[in-house]
Chains A and B, each alone.
Chain A
Amino acid sequence: MSISRRLFLKNGALALASVGVGPLFGPTFLRSTAFGATTAQKRKKVLICIFQRGAADGLNIVVPHGDANLYTHRPGLAIARPSRTDNQSALDLDGFFGLHPALAPFLPIFKDGHLAAIQACGSPDATRSHFDAQDFMEAGTPGDKRFADGWMSRAVLACPEDRAKLQAASSPFRAVAMGCDNGLPRSLQGDAAALAIPDLASFGIGLKNLKGRQAVASGQSGVVDGFESIYDDAVGDVLHGTGKESFEAIAALKKINPSSYAPANGAAYPGGRFGQSMKQIAQLVKADVGVEVAFAEMGGWDTHTGQAARLNQQLRDFGLGISALYHDLGDKMSDVVILTMSEFGRTVRPNGTNGTDHGHATCFFALGGDVNGGKVLGKWPGLAPEQLYENRDLALTTDFRAVFGEVAMKHLGAQGLAKIFPGYTGSAADFRGVIRAA
């Protein structure tokens, strides 16, 4: 593994001093960390958000195996207490919580202190509608439908330097949604321009097939120019802006070739769409085309039936995809935070079909150099019957806006919590310590 835990040590210079190595003899990245303490704020930070659509069952993902009530409520469905002898039990994190065994790739990252889980987190709004809850979470305004834009778009605009960049029309890749089902997700809609890329390999005009990037026939460039000028001239039309972003991105992408991309550090992405999204986000971030926020999604978490097998498969892809992204980005992870989220959790008790129905609080993950990792954060509300939300769900102790807000402000450098989350009355005092103090 090429990423050493030293890389992320809070204070580079101190760390080097303490192990007795002069900065000049350390690897380049360590030197830049050591001497870059004052310039750290200027290095561009990146946030990658991953939405688990369908309501992921937080209780079987970061398993509270230290809470005996779990096993009373969920006989046969709960993940067993940690055991050294089989591979079906929770992987212990801190003596109370454990990871679902399919999330084994997360364990070393947690142990290295670069991965944190936030338990009993979610939206304070009571809705159990997937579609409303996703919308509320992405808008950053639980219970309030008046806003048409998304929290990530607002967060980008709340970064002072990005405001200036916005006028200067910088990279078309500043905000990117990769491989999303419905084009541009709600999180990225708004006043900051954002790009939706279904698949990097086919993001171009007149390509022969999904893999190749060569033009179909000679003389086609004329048509492509024609498209560009039609959209260029259509000033005032909504599609003008979309066209402009698209053609700029296509031009910038000419130097990137997704089909010949080789992940670094032996990172192995799982097959399927989610793995592909993870891989292509890594490629964009590494290509230095100016990505600041990226968004990907993974469906299939709505486990009403046959949950055990389905969740196992989901988490395998989820864990492999995210850990591959993490390892692939390597040293760059010191400037990247990966944040996962889901609209709500699932019922504490199983339903009648070996699954779970729509619940309330769930569990998020954060990974990266800035993350205060190796911990399960948040307050555990307990699973005793009287501690449950509406006598059926895990109660909520962390408002998702406290997590999103902390990452936006302390990692991205956004300013003004209320600007990012209109109507939110919380403050920095509600932050859970997801991001390490600088």
Chain B
Amino acid sequence: MQTLENPHRNSNPQAWRSALLPSIGALVLLSMLAPQASFASQPQQKKSKVTQTATTENDKVLHVLNRLGFGPRPDDVERVKRIGISAWIQKQLHPEEIDDSAVEQKLKGYPELSLSDSEIAAKYKEFINADQAAAKLRRQVRKQAAEKTPAKADATTAGTAQADPKAMRQAVMDDPDLMRQVRENRQELGRLAESIGLLHEEFNADKLIRAVDSQRQLQEVLVDFWSNHFNIDIRKAPCGVLKVLDDRNVIRPHVWGKFRDLLEASAKSPAMLVYLDNFQSVADEIPALTKFRKRRQAQLGSTPTPSVPPKRKVGLNENYAREIMELHTLGVNGGYTQQDVREVARCFTGWGIGSADGTRARINRYSEAGVFQFHPMVHDSGEKVVLGHHIPAGGGMRDGEIVLDLLASDRATWRHISTQLCQRLVCDEPPVSLVNKCIQTWQSTDGNLREIVRTIVTSPEFYSSDALCKKIKSPFEYAVSSVRALDGTLDPDALVSRKQLLREANSMVRPPQGGGYIDMNTNTFLGQIGTMGQPIFQYQAPTGFPEDSRKWVSSGALISRLNFSLALTQGRISDVKLEDPAEDAGATMDVNAMINRVSNRILHGQVSASTRATLLREAQADPKTSPATIAALLLGSPEFQRR
């Protein structure tokens, strides 16, 4: 990825320390957002005293907690100081050595998520059967209604024949047997939808709880990164179910492994095969099919039947082939051509899904949660040339694996992904020197992701002034870090409140129409994150949410963040548990002490003089100002939008 020339680049390395004048990031952002003229006309603020101090250990500790995790809990800073920054990083790089039993215990209570892959698939199939029975009943009812009111049948809008709902209700009421069937089906569907909906709620809750509570913070950051890199929108049916399996089988097991393995796991992930359509992509010419048709033709005689519509053409779909190169590996300028896209699509023909019990191939994607299967019958067996590399005919499934080898070992891939990792962990425009170090590590370790992350987080660039406090938090990061800053937790029971079950279940099964369903309930933690602009697992385009944090700055986004900080501190988010603010001795303190106490717990010294002055002014003007109000203002402050 090329970095853009930044006309405002400021090389003053001291500047970031003015907590409110983070010069470079601010200038970059400002150049995007605010009138250039008005910026130029603003007098450079005098740097306050705080800005003159050197990078302290405190700043570094906050930096690692903000980058290798979702921000500090109040006690975390002291804890990291005690064991030392490098020892803490070392532990985070080896999460298997960190005890995380408290979180595991919390998640054990989720029944649906504890099911095995095949149990989930079986439940889903049961649900689909009931759903299909419901559709059949609806058709039956519609037909009966139409028979009763033939006159009304014609006046409908373009393309969609709609039965009169009144007539349909009447048709059901007139037929007791039908009425019983409809009622029973509705009950059955409701029962099954509840368990599918619950699975979905538990899956979201799992991600949120781990981010807020897990001791393995870096692991959660990387799971979030890779899940976003190999983005799947759960609104594309049946990805709502398949993404649960993708998370447990593709992303989580490979975060610390080799990139090549992660890439292959993703290429074979039923969720990805559905999301980017590859399961439907077949050779343009299928010899067996042609032979079959010829034989049929001979049997039927040579006269083609005119009433039969032209055969549905089957063949290639380029979607996955393009995105695996553009997004998952090489990057958009990674040196591939349109011809390469077609050749890669040919290599991946036949990479599809079959039924979970392995008995049937090429199932309808709506009918069950399938598993990866290679279908040699529909694979394009001819020879291919990918990125100048000759792939001989007859390779079968090996063709796709060769493509994965080629892509994973291409320097463009190393550069593209290293840049993105640096964007997540370091800064929006990573220095070339750091990206090159990652590429070296990639080369020497054959793409070992743990070592590449280690290279990043132990580099001097990681602590540079271009990095510290320069990233704007994503809504997810903002929400999670807010709860952590208040030392709060999530209530596992309240997270799966079962209120939206049917709607969610329906949205998972049917393809989204006009955007699908996004939870915007501001009383829930998940809904708040969606309202702030980052509905979890629901990004429609395959890019995933942006890694460049400047994209998160806008007036609308800011307002929803301020609303979040109010809702959170006022206890209006039902599934977040905070310690009782009354317990806090704040009320008896003088305002200065109260402000110090709250701001130290939340911002650990990184509060600007002007924000502090505002807090003091507000608190002095209103004697009822509580620690919760101070907390709301601090969580909404510019300082806390950064990490």
Question: Do they bind each other?
Answer: yes
Chain A residues packing against B (C-beta within 8 Å) = 53-54, 75-76, 87-88, 101-102, 104, 127-132, 145-146, 148-149, 166-167, 177, 181-184, 189-193, 195-198, 202-207, 209-210, 216-217, 219-220, 222-223, 225-227, 229-231, 233-243, 245-246, 249-250, 270-274, 299-300, 302, 304-305, 310, 312-314, 316-317, 350-355, 357-358, 390
B30, chain A: closest CB distance, angstroms? 5
| Residue count of chain B within 8 Å CB distance of chain A | 92
Bound complex: CA A54 to CA B233 (Å): 14
B residues 501-544 near A (Cβ < 8 Å) are 511-515, 520, 522, 531, 533, 540-541, 543
- Report which of B29, B543, B610 forms a contact with A233, defined as CB distance below 8 A: B610
Q: Determine the chain B residues whose CB is within 8 A of the CB of A237 once the complex forms.
A: 20-22, 26, 638
Closest to A182 in B: B551
A310, chain B: closest CB distance, angstroms? 8
Q: Is B559 located at the chain interface by the 8 A CB criterion?
A: yes
Bound complex: CA A216 to CA B632 (Å): 14
Q: Determine the chain A residues whose CB is within 8 A of the CB of B26 once the complex forms.
A: 236-238
Contact with A along B599-643 (1 / 0, CB 8 A): 000000000101101110110011011000100110011100100
Bound complex: CA A184 to CA B636 (Å): 20
B residues 425-468 near A (Cβ < 8 Å) are none
Closest to A357 in B: B318
Chain B residues packing against A (C-beta within 8 Å) = 2, 4-5, 20-22, 25-27, 29-39, 42, 44-45, 158-159, 277, 280-282, 284, 309-310, 312-319, 322, 326, 332, 338, 341, 511-515, 520, 522, 531, 533, 540-541, 543, 546, 551-560, 562-563, 566, 570, 572, 608, 610-611, 613-615, 617-618, 621-622, 624-625, 629, 632-633, 636-638, 641
Label chain A's interface by main secondary structure.
Answer: loop
Q: List 22 A-B contacts (CB under 8 A).
A: A75-B310, A101-B158, A148-B4, A149-B32, A203-B556, A205-B562, A223-B633, A229-B617, A230-B610, A230-B638, A233-B610, A234-B608, A234-B610, A236-B26, A238-B29, A238-B33, A238-B553, A242-B558, A299-B540, A302-B319, A304-B318, A312-B159
Q: Determine the chain A residues whose CB is within 8 A of the CB of B34 once the complex forms.
A: 191, 193, 238, 241-242
Q: Is the CB of B546 within 8 A of A182?
A: yes
Bound complex: CA A101 to CA B160 (Å): 11
Q: Is the CB of A353 within 8 A of B280?
A: yes
Bound complex: CA A204 to CA B512 (Å): 29
Bound complex: CA A286 to CA B533 (Å): 27
Q: Determine the chain B residues whose CB is within 8 A of the CB of A101 once the complex forms.
A: 158-159
Q: Is the CB of A129 within 8 A of B332?
A: yes
Known: A130-B541, A132-B332, A249-B555. A352 touches B33 (CB 8 A): no
Known: A206-B566, A304-B317. A192 touches B35 (CB 8 A): yes
Q: Determine the chain A residues whose CB is within 8 A of the CB of B338 once the complex forms.
A: 128, 390
B233, chain A: closest CB distance, angstroms? 10
Q: Is the CB of A54 within 8 A of B541?
A: yes
B100, chain A: closest CB distance, angstroms? 33
B609, chain A: closest CB distance, angstroms? 9
Closest to A91 in B: B158
Bound complex: CA A344 to CA B400 (Å): 28
Q: Is the CB of B636 within 8 A of A227?
A: yes
- Report which of A54, A131, A197, A230 forms a contact with B332, defined as CB distance below 8 A: A131
Bound complex: CA A207 to CA B520 (Å): 14
- Report which of B317, B622, B641 forms a contact with A355, defined as CB distance below 8 A: B317
Q: Is the CB of A230 within 8 A of B636?
A: yes
Q: Is the CB of B312 within 8 A of A354?
A: yes
Count, A-B residue pairs, CB within 8 A: 251
Bound complex: CA A227 to CA B629 (Å): 11
Q: Is the CB of A358 within 8 A of B553?
A: no
Known: A222-B629, A237-B22, A239-B558. A299 touches B29 (CB 8 A): no
Q: Is the CB of B277 within 8 A of A304?
A: yes
Q: Is the CB of B514 within 8 A of A235?
A: no
Bound complex: CA A167 to CA B566 (Å): 34
Bound complex: CA A375 to CA B22 (Å): 53
Q: Is the CB of B35 within 8 A of A196?
A: no
Closest to B313 in A: A350
B72, chain A: closest CB distance, angstroms? 21
Bound complex: CA A4 to CA B33 (Å): 41
Bound complex: CA A312 to CA B4 (Å): 40
Q: Which 7 A-B pairs have the closest CB atoms?
A: A352-B315, A183-B554, A241-B34, A238-B29, A196-B554, A272-B514, A233-B610
- Report which of B326, B555, B572, B613 forms a contact with A246, defined as CB distance below 8 A: B555
Q: Is the CB of A129 within 8 A of B326?
A: yes
- Report which of B310, B315, B638 forms a contact with A239, defined as CB distance below 8 A: B638
Q: Is the CB of B35 within 8 A of A193?
A: yes
Q: Determine the chain A residues whose CB is within 8 A of the CB of B562 once the complex forms.
A: 205, 227
Q: Is the CB of A238 within 8 A of B566?
A: no
B580, chain A: closest CB distance, angstroms? 18
Closest to A305 in B: B277
Bound complex: CA A204 to CA B641 (Å): 18
Closest to A193 in B: B35
Bound complex: CA A272 to CA B517 (Å): 9
Q: Determine the chain B residues whose CB is within 8 A of the CB of A302 once the complex forms.
A: 319, 541
Q: Is the CB of B638 within 8 A of A352?
A: no
Closest to A132 in B: B332
- Report which of A230, A274, A355 forms a contact with B514, defined as CB distance below 8 A: A274
Q: Determine the chain B residues whose CB is within 8 A of the CB of A241 once the complex forms.
A: 30, 33-34, 38-39
Bound complex: CA A350 to CA B540 (Å): 23
Known: A191-B35, A198-B560, A351-B315. A235 touches B45 (CB 8 A): yes
Q: Is the CB of A236 within 8 A of B42?
A: yes
Q: Determine the chain B residues whose CB is within 8 A of the CB of A88 once the complex forms.
A: 159
Closest to B36 in A: A191
Q: Is the CB of A358 within 8 A of B638?
A: no
Bound complex: CA A145 to CA B310 (Å): 45
Q: Determine the chain B residues whose CB is within 8 A of the CB of A207 once the complex forms.
A: 563
Tell me which of A166, A249, A351 has the highest count of chain B C-beta atoms within 10 A of its own C-beta.
A351
Closest to B2 in A: A145
Q: Is the CB of A205 within 8 A of B563?
A: yes
Known: A238-B30, A272-B515. A351 touches B318 (CB 8 A): yes
Tell me which of A88, A149, A239, A313 has the highest count of chain B C-beta atoms within 10 A of its own C-beta.
A239
Closest to A390 in B: B338
Q: Is the CB of A352 within 8 A of B563?
A: no
Q: Is the CB of A226 within 8 A of B614?
A: yes
Q: Is the CB of B310 within 8 A of A209?
A: no
Known: A148-B31, A239-B641, A313-B513. A226 touches B615 (CB 8 A): yes
- Report which of B29, B38, B533 forms a contact with A198, defined as CB distance below 8 A: B533
Q: Is the CB of A243 within 8 A of B558?
A: yes
- Report which of A132, A189, A206, A240 forms a contact with B638, defined as CB distance below 8 A: A240
Q: Is the CB of A183 within 8 A of B551?
A: yes
Q: Determine the chain A residues whose CB is within 8 A of the CB of B158 once the complex forms.
A: 87, 101-102, 104, 316
Known: A195-B556, A230-B636, A352-B282. A300 touches B541 (CB 8 A): no
Q: Determine the chain A residues whose CB is within 8 A of the CB of B513 once the complex forms.
A: 313
Bound complex: CA A199 to CA B38 (Å): 28
Known: A88-B159, A128-B338. A313 touches B514 (CB 8 A): yes
